[in-house]
Amino acid sequence: MIRVLLVDDQALIRGGFRALLEAEDDIEVVGEAADGAHGAELAAETVPDVALIDIQMPVLDGIEATRRIVADPRLDGVHVVMLTNYGFDEYVFNALRAGASGFLVKDIDPADLLHSVRVAARGDALLAPSITRRLIAEFVSRLPEPDIGKSMERLTNREREVVALVARGLSNDEIAQHMVISPTTAKTHVSRAMTKLHARDRAQLVVFAYESGLVSPKRSL
Helices 11-22, 110-121: crossing angle, 10 deg rounding = 80
Residues in the chain: 221
Cβ atoms of 23 and 113 within 8 Å: the answer is no
The per-residue pLDDT string of the chain (221 residues; one tens digit each, 9 = 90 and over) reads: 999 999 999 999 999 999 999 999 999 999 999 999 999 999 999 999 999 999 989 899 999 999 999 999 999 899 999 888 865 556 777 888 888 888 888 888 899 899 889 988 987 777 655 556 566 555 555 444 555 656 778 899 999 999 999 888 788 888 999 999 999 999 999 999 999 988 877 878 887 887 787 876 554 44
Q: Which pLDDT does position 140 carry in this prediction?
A: 54
Which of left, alpha, beta for 172 (phi over 0: left; psi -120 to 50: alpha)? alpha
Query: What residue spans in the chain does CATH classification 3.40.50.2300 cover?
Result: 2-126
Q: What is the CA radius of gyration of the chain?
A: 17
Q: Where in the chain is the domain with CATH 1.10.10.10?
A: 146-212
- Residue (of 95, 51, 106, 112) closest to 206 by Cα position: 95
Domain spanning 2-126: CATH 3.40.50.2300:
yes
Q: Alpha-carbon torsion 174, 150, 68, 78, what sign?
A: positive
146-212: CATH topology: Arc Repressor Mutant, subunit A (1.10.10)
Model pLDDT, residue 204: 80
